Amino acid sequence: MWQKIEAAPADSILGLTDAFKSDTNPNKVNLGVGVYKDEQGKTPVLDCVKAAEKILLDEESSKSYLPISGDPVYGREVQKLLFGADSEVIANKRAVTAHAPGGTGALRVGADLLKKFYPKAKVWISNPTWANHKGVFATAGFELGQYAYYNPESKNVDFEAMLACLAAVPAGDIVLLHACCHNPSGVDLSDEQWRTVAALAKEKGWMAFLDFAYQGFGEGVEEDRCAVEAFAAVGVDFFVASSFSKNFGLYNERTGAITIVSQTAEEAVVAMSHLKATIRVIYSNPPAHGGLVVAKILSNDALHQQWLAELATMRERIKAMRVALVSGLAKRGVQEDFSYITSQRGMFSFSGLSDTTVQWLRENKAIYVVGGGRINLAGLTIANIDYVCDSIAEALGA
Ligand code: LMR
């Protein structure tokens, strides 16, 4: 079968990790894949996760199937995290949530469900966006379009251009939005801008699909939900894909969720029936462990508080690395002004490094950066920051 078939290209993000692992340079630094590292360069299991796992190990009495939509406590806790415990969406039972295998699984389930009812819709993605968005929605059979987002001149969101694009999106199309910590650019909309976009969705009749993979990595769990709140407030149908890979450090447990917000409780029941039908034919029902860990942490006051504190530590360490990178480059006489890196949010920075520089850093310094210049700030530590700053300064001729 395979003799006449060409090999597929390596994944632009996960393929970089494979190359990094086989690199023998002792100074190598992985600033590619979006995985948090602590000051020791390790990706830790959070203490709250360890504590929850101990409880689960003691409590577990069966490994029978979960419901198609996952553990019901998980679904309820995810909704509280998304909307706030006192939200009108929860009180009015307007949302349904299913545990999906990771944020990618959630996006794909949502995409397949949307394809069933909007077969001719076009999916609009931001320019730029996470590389896998294209793959997920194109593989689900959608035609893709791009809306303006990042302005390389201002190093910020080009909100006017974005609005102009979104105003032209036809009713019935789907717009994929990054709810916070835009990947790869690190620049987000303000609360007010989100309200404008949500009002536009209502006026124009397109469907918002929010990718929410970094809740708590921007300003905090509550602050980061402003996009979700804006769409909930205007009373339109919308989808949210959550990931708990980053904020709970549950990368390999594939713990995510797909939430559908509708306009009434009756409609939500219909949405759930189709969500379950969609999931059943892909993976039948979700893997239990990660969802049970998240449900245990969020439903236990002490563990919940511990999680918020650990999340804050991760967020603050990344912010400190932003400052260290900018001042490290300035100290080395790099002419370009990189100060905008400190106002970007989340794990990533669109560093402004060209593909040529990215290639040079990889070949000469074993520093791995995603094509387009996206840097994972969480890959920087006190131990490697000088090496990275020296290398970038050398690459830029400082
Ligand atoms: C990333 O963007 O690096 C992460 O979301 C990991 C991935 O799956 O690409």
Q: Is 375 in the pocket of ligand 1 (CB under 6 A)?
A: no
Tens of pLDDT along the chain (398 residues)? 999 999 999 888 998 999 999 999 999 999 999 999 999 999 999 999 999 999 999 999 999 999 999 999 999 999 999 999 999 999 999 999 999 999 999 999 999 999 999 999 999 999 999 999 999 999 999 999 999 999 999 999 999 999 999 999 999 999 999 999 999 999 999 999 999 999 999 999 999 999 999 999 999 999 999 999 999 999 999 999 999 999 999 999 999 999 999 999 999 999 999 999 999 999 999 999 999 999 999 999 999 999 999 999 999 999 999 999 999 999 999 988 899 999 999 999 988 889 999 999 999 999 999 988 999 999 999 999 999 999 999 999 87
Active site residue 211: yes
| 181 Cβ closer than 6 Å to some ligand 1 atom | no
Ligand 1 proximity of 162 Cβ (cutoff 6 Å): no
* 141 φψ region: left (φ > 0), alpha (ψ -120 to 50), beta (else): left
pLDDT number for residue 182: 96
Report the nearest-CA residue for atom 2 of ligand 1.
Answer: 34
- Predicted TM-score (pTM) of the model is 0.95
Closest CA to 306 of 318, 317, 297: 297
With a 6 Å cutoff on the Cβ, whether 13 touches ligand 1 is yes
Q: Is the CB of 341 under 6 A from ligand 1?
A: no
Q: Which of 37, 115, 155, 246 is catalytic?
A: 246
Distance of alpha carbon 223 from alpha carbon 95, whole angstroms: 20
Asked if 387 and 27 count as a contact pair (C-beta separation under 8 A), the reply is: yes
Give 104 Cα–ligand 1 centroid separation in angstroms: 9
Separation of alpha carbons 375 and 184, rounded Å: 8
Q: Measured in angstroms, how far is the CA atom of residue 64 from the centroid of ligand 1?
A: 31
The dihedrals phi and psi of 65, each to the nearest 5 degrees, come to -60, 145
Looking only at the bridges linking them, the beta strands covering 255-261 and 95-101 are: antiparallel
> Who's near 276: CB < 8 A, 6+ residues apart?
68, 69, 98
Q: Which of the residues 211, 224, 360, 365 is marked catalytic?
A: 211
- Between CA 108 and CA 118 the distance in angstroms is 15
Residue 33: CB within 6 Å of ligand 1? yes
> Which phi and psi angles does 300 have, rounded to 5°?
-115, 120
Q: Buried b / exposed e across 79-105, counting CB within 10 Å, b at 16+? A: bebbbbeebebbeeebbbbbbbbbbbb
The values of phi and psi at residue 167, to 5°, are -70, -20
115 is known as an active-site residue: no
Ligand 1 contact via 68 beta carbon (within 6 Å): no
Distance from the alpha carbon of residue 159 to the mean position of ligand 1, in angstroms: 25
Closest residue to atom 4 of ligand 1, CA basis: 34
What pLDDT does residue 371 have? 87
Pick the catalytic residue from 37, 115, 130, 194.
Answer: 130
| CB-based contact 376:33 (threshold 8 Å) | yes
Neighbours of 380 (CB within 10 A): 26
206 is catalytic: no
Q: Report the separation in Å between the CA atom of 235 and the middle of ligand 1, taken as the mean of its atom positions.
A: 31
- The best mutation among 12, 14, 33 to test binding of ligand 1, ranked by most ligand atoms within 8 Å of the C-beta, falls on 33
Query: Which DSSP symbol is given to 80?
Result: H
Ligand 1 contacts CB of residue 183 (under 6 A): yes
Torsion of CA 158, 161, 164, 166, to 10 degrees: -60
Instruction: Please tell me if the CB atom of residue 132 comes closer than 6 angstroms to any atom of ligand 1.
Output: yes
Q: Which of 21, 43, 77 is nearest to 253 (CA)?
A: 43
Q: Which is nearest to 48 in space by CA: 194, 249, 183, 221?
A: 249
Is 130 a pocket residue for ligand 1 (Cβ < 6 Å)? Answer: yes
- Distance from Cα 333 to the centre of ligand 1, integer Å: 32
Q: Which atom of ligand 1 is nearest to the CA of 370?
A: 3
Q: How far is ligand 1, taken at its centre, from the CA of residue 183, in Å?
A: 9
CB of 34 closer than 6 angstroms to any ligand 1 atom: yes
| Residue of 73, 77, 63, 100 whose CA lies nearest to 285 | 100
